[in-house]
Structure 1
């Protein structure tokens, strides 16, 4: 759920608690990131600021009015900021927060929220990339390959990397080659040489790297890792 579905918000406001829990779980990383962004400190779920931010998110769900012309996440950011300011005022805690939310500051909410969203998205992408690398590493070990050794088996020249990316795409579409690869856990070098005219020495030299590219092409759910590898391959 990259964008909030207004129909889902309406369902929650009409009493759908299952939908509420799903939305809360999805946006919890965003909520805690916003709390940290506003307070200029690292916030964990054991901190009061995190609880206040989550309550504000819940309040935003209940009170959001789609006809008011605001984006939902901008509204969330505004409520979290107001509640955190109120919390610091009551607790008389030191913070780099203005204790008054002026009209001018309200007008900058969208800009602040965009900054928080950008940081959040980068954090999510990093987390997803790490998780995908772990999944890939587990699969590669079935082929006697470890993720750590790929760098030493990758081609040094850009043209070679691009050629192997293109070859991996062709092989991934080749049912005979992919079935043999997945069943025997070995690159069907003889068949690839005959079908695609690639030199046997090239395949043997870059066998582990090519197998990895084929596996990535076959597992399109690893979006972050695929983009990372393609970017590296063309740079």
Structure 2
């Protein structure tokens, strides 16, 4: 995945272990997405032990990954995190383990290379699916859904471009984002003061702008950001 800096990984494996903590911290979004997908629910760093297990698996992957085997580091991480989470659920007799994970007994029996190859093929599609599912879950906290965005999507390119520019500017404003995250609504007054846009325009496109701000202010929606180049439209949500 694009968020993982392979050059830094190589340096760590060459002995620059001082880079390890920053490398792990910069990839917490990836770790959370994969762990949430495996556990079939949205995990939180402050509450869920599964994320600690996934974090340890990621750290283990740094040490045990062999680039000479011709597989991607992300694929190897997915295999290792899934295996460690399955072990965790078995040891704790957790009833919340998904059936797909319970049925995957052979993950502990097959060679790591085979698991890596399998995930290498499906990794991109799974990552996109994870992001869309997590994004839809986050939208629900705002009383929105993907269906709402489809209905409220502006048809005119100039309108979309203006909304992208507003989102790009507001996404850098900590107060606006803090208010949005805390109250699950847009601070129209602060957006007007920052951008000079008319209230009527913001009220009309409020739902769509909220969705753009969620993406713009997060490090977890890397694939979705590929579809949006804020200020230079590519593809609409």
Q: What is the TM-score normalised by the length of structure 1? A: 0.54
Aligned-residue RMSD, C-alpha? 3.7
Contact 1:89 1:99 in 2 (8 A): no
Match of 1:37 in 2: 37
Alpha carbons of 1:142 and 1:58: their partners in 2 closer, same or farther (altered >3 Å)? Answer: closer
Contact 1:33 1:116 in 2 (8 A): no
Contact 2:35 2:50 in 1 (8 A): yes
**Number of equivalent positions:** 160
Distance, in Å, in 2 between the alignment partners of 1:50 and 1:75 is 17
Contact 1:52 1:80 in 2 (8 A): yes
Contact 1:6 1:66 in 2 (8 A): no
Residue 99 of structure 1: CA displacement? 5.1
Instruction: Flag the structure with larger Rg.
Output: 1
Q: Are 2:63 and 1:62 equivalent residues in the alignment?
A: yes
- Structure with higher helix content: 1
Q: How does 1:1-235 map to 2 (within 5 A)?
A: 2=2, 4-45=4-45, 46-94=47-95, 95-96=97-98, 97=101, 98=103, 100=105, 101=107, 103=110, 106=115, 108-119=118-129, 132-135=169-172, 141=193, 144-145=196-197, 149-150=200-201, 224-227=229-232
Contact 1:32 1:43 in 2 (8 A): yes
Give structure 1 stretches of 5+ with no counterpart: 155-222
Contact 1:33 1:120 in 2 (8 A): yes
2:44 is paired with a residue of what secondary structure? coil
Residue 112 of structure 1: CA displacement? 4.7
Distance, in Å, in 2 between the alignment partners of 1:99 and 1:153 is 48
Alpha carbons of 1:115 and 1:44: their partners in 2 closer, same or farther (altered >3 Å)? Answer: farther
Match of 2:148 in 1: none
Distance, in Å, in 1 between the alignment partners of 2:78 and 2:67 is 16
Structure number with greater CO (CA < 8 Å, separation at least 6) is 2
Give structure 2 stretches of 5+ with no counterpart: 140-163, 177-189, 206-227
Alpha carbons of 1:92 and 1:99: their partners in 2 closer, same or farther (altered >3 Å)? Answer: farther
Q: What is the TM-score normalised by the length of structure 2? A: 0.54
Distance, in Å, in 2 between the alignment partners of 1:141 and 1:14 is 50
Residue 7 of structure 1: CA displacement? 3.1
Contact 1:30 1:120 in 2 (8 A): no
